[in-house]
Chains A and B, each alone.
Chain A
Amino acid sequence: MDESVLDKLKTLAESAKYDVSCASSGTVRKNQPGGLGNTVGGMGICHSFTEDGRCVSLLKIMLTNYCIYDCAYCINRRSNDIRRATFSVKELVELTIEFYRRNYIEGLFLSSGIVRNPDYTMERLVRVAKDLRTIHRFNGYIHLKSIPGASRELVNEAGLYADRMSVNLEIPTEENLKLLAPEKNHLSVFQPMSYIQQGMMQSLEDRRKFRSAPRFVPAGQSTQMIVGATQETDKDILRISSALYRRPSMKRVYYSGFIPVNSYDNRLPALKQPPLVRENRLYQADWLMRFYEFRADEIVDETSPNLDLEIDPKLAWALRHPEAFPVDLQKADYSLILRVPGIGVRSAKLIIASRRFGRLTASQLKKMGIVMKKAQYFITCNELPMHTIHEAGPEYIRQQLIARKTKAKNEDDRQLSLLFTDP
Chain B
Amino acid sequence: MLVFFYDKTFQGLLTAVFEAYSRKEFPEKLVATGEIPPLFMSAHYTIVTEEMKCARVWTALEKKVSREGCNMLAYVWLSEQPEAPDLLFRYLCKLFANPDAPYQLNFGDPDVLEMQQLAQKVSHEELYLKQFVRFQKTSDGLFFAPVSPIYNALPLVIAHFKDRFADQKWVLYDAKRQYGYYYDLQTVEEITISDDEHLSDGKLDESQMAADEKLFQDLWKGYFQSITIKERLNPRLHRQHMPKRFWKYLTEKQE
**Residues of chain A at the chain B interface (Cβ within 8 Å):** 1-3, 5-6, 9-11, 13-14, 16-18, 30-31, 33-38, 40, 45-56, 59-61, 95, 98-99, 101-104, 257, 259, 273-274, 276, 350, 353-358, 360-361, 364, 367-368
Give the residues in chain A near B164, CB-CB below 8 Å: 31, 36-38
A51 adjacent to B233 (CB under 8 Å): yes
Q: Per-residue 0/1 for B119-139: is the Cβ within 8 Å of any A Cβ (1 yes, 0 no)?
A: 000000001001111111100
Closest chain B CB from A356 CB (angstroms): 8
B108 adjacent to A52 (CB under 8 Å): no
A102 adjacent to B241 (CB under 8 Å): no
B36 at interface by CB-CB < 8 Å: no
Q: Per-residue 0/1 for B224-250: is the Cβ within 8 Å of any A Cβ (1 yes, 0 no)?
A: 111111111111111011100000001
- A56 and B135 alpha carbons, distance in the complex (Å): 17
Binds A, one of B58-66, B99-107, B200-208: B99-107
Closest chain B CB from A94 CB (angstroms): 10
Tell me the dominant secondary structure on chain A's binding face: mixed
B212 adjacent to A48 (CB under 8 Å): no
A10 adjacent to B105 (CB under 8 Å): no
- A45 and B234 alpha carbons, distance in the complex (Å): 21
B166 adjacent to A35 (CB under 8 Å): yes
Known A9-B223, A354-B108; contact A47-B165, beta-carbon cutoff 8 A: no
Question: Which chain A residue shows the least CB distance to B236?
Answer: A53
In the complex, the number of residue pairs spanning A and B with C-beta atoms less than 8 Å apart equals: 159
**What are 20 A-B pairs with beta-carbon distances under 8 A?**
A6-B219, A10-B225, A35-B166, A36-B168, A37-B165, A45-B130, A47-B132, A48-B242, A48-B250, A51-B238, A55-B241, A59-B223, A98-B216, A102-B137, A103-B135, A103-B145, A273-B231, A355-B108, A357-B108, A361-B108
Tell me the dominant secondary structure on chain B's binding face: helix
- A79 and B232 alpha carbons, distance in the complex (Å): 25
- Within 42-76 of B, Cβ neighbours of A (below 8 Å) are at none
- A358 and B226 alpha carbons, distance in the complex (Å): 55
B21 at interface by CB-CB < 8 Å: no
Closest chain B CB from A40 CB (angstroms): 7
Give the residues in chain B near A16, CB-CB below 8 Å: 227
A52 adjacent to B101 (CB under 8 Å): no
Closest chain B CB from A109 CB (angstroms): 11
Give the residues in chain B near A257, CB-CB below 8 Å: 232
A50 adjacent to B227 (CB under 8 Å): yes
A367 adjacent to B238 (CB under 8 Å): no
Known A53-B241, A104-B251; contact A10-B226, beta-carbon cutoff 8 A: yes
When A and B form their complex, which 10 residue pairs have the shortest distance between CB atoms, in order from nearest?
A53-B237, A13-B226, A52-B232, A353-B105, A53-B234, A49-B241, A357-B106, A354-B107, A50-B228, A49-B242
- A356 and B128 alpha carbons, distance in the complex (Å): 35
A353 adjacent to B167 (CB under 8 Å): no
Give the residues in chain A near B101, CB-CB below 8 Å: 356-357
A102 adjacent to B134 (CB under 8 Å): yes
Give the residues in chain A near B168, CB-CB below 8 Å: 36, 101
Partner of B143, one of A48, A49, A101: A101
Give the residues in chain A near B105, CB-CB below 8 Å: 353-354, 357
B23 at interface by CB-CB < 8 Å: no
| Contacts A30-B163, A104-B251, A257-B232 supplied; 18 other A-B pairs, CB < 8 Å | A2-B215, A9-B223, A14-B227, A33-B166, A38-B164, A45-B130, A48-B131, A48-B224, A50-B229, A51-B238, A52-B228, A52-B237, A54-B229, A98-B216, A101-B135, A102-B251, A354-B106, A356-B101
B143 adjacent to A1 (CB under 8 Å): no
Partner of B226, one of A1, A14, A98, A350: A14
Residue of A1, A98, A99, A102 ringed by the most chain B CB atoms within 10 A: A102
